[in-house]
Amino acid sequence: MELDLRGKVALITGPAKGMGAAITLAFAAEGCNLVLAGRDTEAIVPVAAEAIAMGRNAIVLPCDLTDTAQCQALADRAVAECGQVDILVNVAGGSGPIGKTGWETTREEFNEIVTLNMTGAFNTMRAVLPGMIARRSGKIVNVGGTFGMRGRAGRMAYSASKWGLRGITKSMALEAGPYGINVNCVAPGMVDGARFRTKVVPELARRLGITEDEAITHHAEEYALRRITLDQDVAHACLFLASECARQITGVDLPVDGGWGML
């Protein structure tokens, strides 16, 4: 199956590490040129260098995704440098408080994660869509999460933000669909990586009175496939939804979770 992404321009937010870096390099491997955006540009530079070593163009631009003006400037600069934006992948986001009930969560904690996970994606979509509409072509992939599909005790604020992102995705899919633009959401389950190993696992181990190795096994046993999702699993789903192989798919939430969110 040919994804036919060679020469496309992909704007990716949150590309510095973990899942974001894996997604970025997967698009580079498929032949995409890249516009990489985030607050900490120094952290993004090594990922851009890897893409350039593959023979791709990759520019790094600073952007506070919660700032509407900065997102518009990002899109304008991407067009000026690369001609157009064919693909937008919104990876940037945060986890919010972990292990707190809804009534223990402060208003500040709630507002911070909802603003980052919802407003950031809204701002970038709003900035790139006029160009896509003018060309009657484009792919948008938002990275959500299965806790925004089933909810999760101790993760209320994060779940709320990802439920909201699903709503944004579905409404935008309906609005942009007549212009030939696909808007979808990839919903990872628990993804192995630094956040999982240093935050989620220790918190579960503490709460259940078990070892961290036992906590990892506990997580895996919740899934039909009995294994934790890897960054590359999420990257492959993003590639598919950004390709013409998914030309007739829009407005979906695609769980990448080993069989938790939908089973």
Supply 49's token pair.
Answer: 């260098």
Three-state SS for 193-242 is CHHHHHHHHHHHHHHHCCCHHHHHHHHHCCCCCCCCECHHHHHHHHHHHH
Return the active site residues: 158
Helix axes 201-208 and 212-220, enclosed angle (nearest 10)? 100
- Alpha helices by DSSP H, listed for the chain, are 18-29, 41-53, 68-82, 107-114, 120-135, 147-150, 156-176, 194-195, 201-208, 212-220, 231-242
**Residue pair 38/14 in contact by the 8 Å Cβ criterion:** yes
